[in-house]
Amino acid sequence: MQGLNHTSVSEFILVGFSAFPHLQLMLFLLFLLMYLFTLLGNLLIMATVWSERSLHMPMYLFLCALSITEILYTVAIIPRMLADLLSTQRSIAFLACASQMFFSFSFGFTHSFLLTVMGYDRYVAICHPLRYNVLMSLRGCTCRVGCSWAGGLVMGMVVTSAIFHLAFCGHKEIHHFFCHVPPLLKLACGDDVLVVAKGVGLVCITALLGCFLLILLSYAFIVAAILKIPSAEGRNKAFSTCASHLTVVVVHYGFASVIYLKPKGPQSPEGDTLMGITYTVLTPFLSPIIFSLRNKELKVAMKKTCFTKLFPQNC
């Protein structure tokens, strides 16, 4: 990156939760438990889908890919945050900061693209059930997952390159618990900072809003198709296949809007840090809970998998 040659800053200081010194141990324990649960929940989903042949279908292939992105997204942010909660040395090297931003944005946007693909999968399943096997073939599903990952990596590269091509003029303190765009922009100097800030904001909001609108369009067709089903039992069964995905979409975009669509105006760095928890810690924590509780097939398969592992002699 050219920006590496023009900066006088070789490292940054992640201020994180230092404004709450008396809460750091409690926050460490809370975030550690949530992080471990996130990892175990997603690994359990992946193991269940892998071991249960009845779940070898596109919807659960996408769910496995989603679990992988959530694991990688949290790995990019949370271990560093946990270490800083127990340390007085919160410095992070310039390249390490750029890498963290790249991976967090890449996996975050891959998550959004996969949710969009899952919405299309539910649209095809309900609105075109007779063509489902053709439209959602293994090759097609693999291609969609690959495109989601490629799109996420491109977004991560675009955002990270734009931010780290800026010059940083000696200020080191990032008022956040990871290398996020807004606090880093406050440390940059030069005539192009405002242009980069608006450009990055436009790219991120356009990508997220585009995914959200495509999901809304899918569900508009889904709702119209469900309302045409004559029996209440049929309507409930059709809607139940979408419930977990729809709930995760609401949580994902609800918390994302807190980060990207918050009103302009004076806001404390501590407030921004606390809001960041909703998207980086809480959303990945809730996602496996929602999918395991709201998806009946997955819930039954997970119970069967756990029972088989714990009591193999009874199987």
Query: Are 211 and 115 spatial neighbours (Cβ–Cβ below 8 Å)?
Result: yes
Query: Are 130 and 226 spatial neighbours (Cβ–Cβ below 8 Å)?
Result: no
Per DSSP, the three-state class of 58 is: helix
For the entire predicted model, the pTM comes to: 0.89
In the chain, which stretches have pLDDT less than 70?
1-8, 259-270, 294, 305-315
- Angle at alpha carbon of residue 131, lines to 130 and 135, rounded to 5°: 155
Secondary structure E strands in the chain:
11-14, 91-93, 167-168, 173-174, 188-189
Q: Which residues of 233-246 are buried (b: 16+ CB within 10 A; e: fewer)?
A: eeeeebeebbbbbb
- Residue 222, C-beta contacts closer than 8 angstroms, at least 6 positions apart: 122, 123, 126, 127, 242
pLDDT digits (tens, 9 = 90+) for 104-127: 999 999 999 999 999 999 999 999
Helix, strand, coil percentages (3-state) for the chain, rounded to 5, are: 80, 5, 15
pLDDT digits (tens, 9 = 90+) for 206-225: 999 999 999 999 999 999 99
Query: What is the gyration radius of the CA atoms in the chain, in angstroms?
Result: 21
- Residue 281, C-beta contacts closer than 8 angstroms, at least 6 positions apart: 31, 34, 35, 74, 78
Residues 212 and 203: their CA atoms lie apart, in Å, by 14
Instruction: Please tell me the predicted confidence (pLDDT) of residue 168.
Output: 87
CATH class, range 2-314: mainly alpha
Instruction: Please tell me the predicted confidence (pLDDT) of residue 4.
Output: 43
